[in-house]
Structure 1
Amino acid sequence: MSFKIEYEFELPRGYIDENKEVHKKGKMRLATAADEILPMKDPRVQQNPGYLTIILLARVITNLEGISMVDTRLIESLFTADLAYLQDLYQRINNMDNPNYKTTCPHCGKEIQVPVNFMNADQ
């Protein structure tokens, strides 16, 4: 079984570098547990919880056309429309529905998909 771990995007406005060049196309990867946990120790996040978004995006954006490295300074300089777009993309690719598993119905014998609910110990 394979699944997608990196997603292409195109910013609505684009990042404008020091040479006034516009960069719109990039890639974002799925977040790991470390991506969400480690920034919580950062003093910038402790002083301003809103800064968590900046650090998260800098960690998961793997490519922005023509830019050698995406860091927090680059994310800070994005237009608000681009930041909102990236926040939405992050949420969409990282918040999936609960996984399912295949099993056989005890009543009819057909193969069925049963959702896994990690929050309910009764299942």
Structure 2
Amino acid sequence: MRRTVPVALGEPEVDDDVQVTSSSPSRRPQLRTEFDFQLPRGYLDGDGVLHRSGTMRLATARDELLPLYDARVQENPAFTTVVLLSRVITSLGTLPGITSNVVENMFASDVAFLQDLYRRINAEGHTRAAVVCPSCEHRFEVDISGGRLGES
């Protein structure tokens, strides 16, 4: 389920993550605030269950400020990523909640993927990346958040 909020008319244009719904005659655009993803490797919990599908929400200023007051971040600034990701990942597989301990125990490739996804949705406003086929040099876009089998 994606959460959306109305965008008032006359505000600056929102990138490709604006969805128009036909629930009202005025057809007001909606801002996408949650993004589904598929981890490249997946988080392996203590019971041996692999969790790959999740959702990340847009970050707020509070999300970026609160880690600065965390003792673990003050001791080691590299821990900022762990605390920040644990705040904005709203779901991962069947886990009841996402804590900094979950993010700490993810594979490095998954953390790198989540950092890139965070940057894309919060700085660029989308989850697409431009790519070039190495064989035929055809240029196209892929959605890096992942999806069903056979999709990027």
Which of the five TM-score ranges fits, normalised by the shorter chain?
Answer: 0.7 to 0.9
Match of 2:24 in 1: none
Question: 1:93-112, aligned counterparts within 5 Å?
Answer: 93-96=121-124
- 1:21 Cα offset (Å): 1.0
Provide the TM-score with structure 1 as the length reference.
0.77
Question: 1:19-30, aligned counterparts within 5 Å?
Answer: 19-30=47-58
**Which structure: larger Rg?**
1
- 1:41 Cα offset (Å): 0.7
Match of 2:93 in 1: 65
- 1:37 Cα offset (Å): 0.5
Matched letter for residue 91 of structure 2: N
User: Which blocks of at least 5 consecutive residues in structure 1 are unaligned?
Assistant: 98-123
User: Which blocks of at least 5 consecutive residues in structure 2 are unaligned?
Assistant: 1-28, 126-152
Provide the TM-score with structure 2 as the length reference.
0.62
Matched letter for residue 7 of structure 1: F
Question: 1:7-22, aligned counterparts within 5 Å?
Answer: 7-22=35-50
Q: Deviations over 1:76-118 (max 9, x none)?
A: 0000000000000000000037xxxxxxxxxxxxxxxxxxxxx
* SS at 2:31 equivalent: coil
Matched letter for residue 31 of structure 1: A
* SS at 1:27 equivalent: strand
Match of 1:92 in 2: 120
Separation in structure 2 between the aligned mates of residue 89 and residue 23 of structure 1, nearest angstrom? 17
Match of 2:81 in 1: 53
Alignment RMSD, CA only? Answer: 1.0
Separation in structure 2 between the aligned mates of residue 4 and residue 50 of structure 1, nearest angstrom? 29
- 1:38 Cα offset (Å): 1.0
Match of 1:108 in 2: none
* SS at 2:97 equivalent: coil
- 1:18 Cα offset (Å): 1.2
- 1:2 Cα offset (Å): 1.6
Decide which structure has greater helix share: 1
Count of aligned pairs between the two proteins: 97
Separation in structure 1 between the aligned mates of residue 124 and residue 60 of structure 2, nearest angstrom? 14
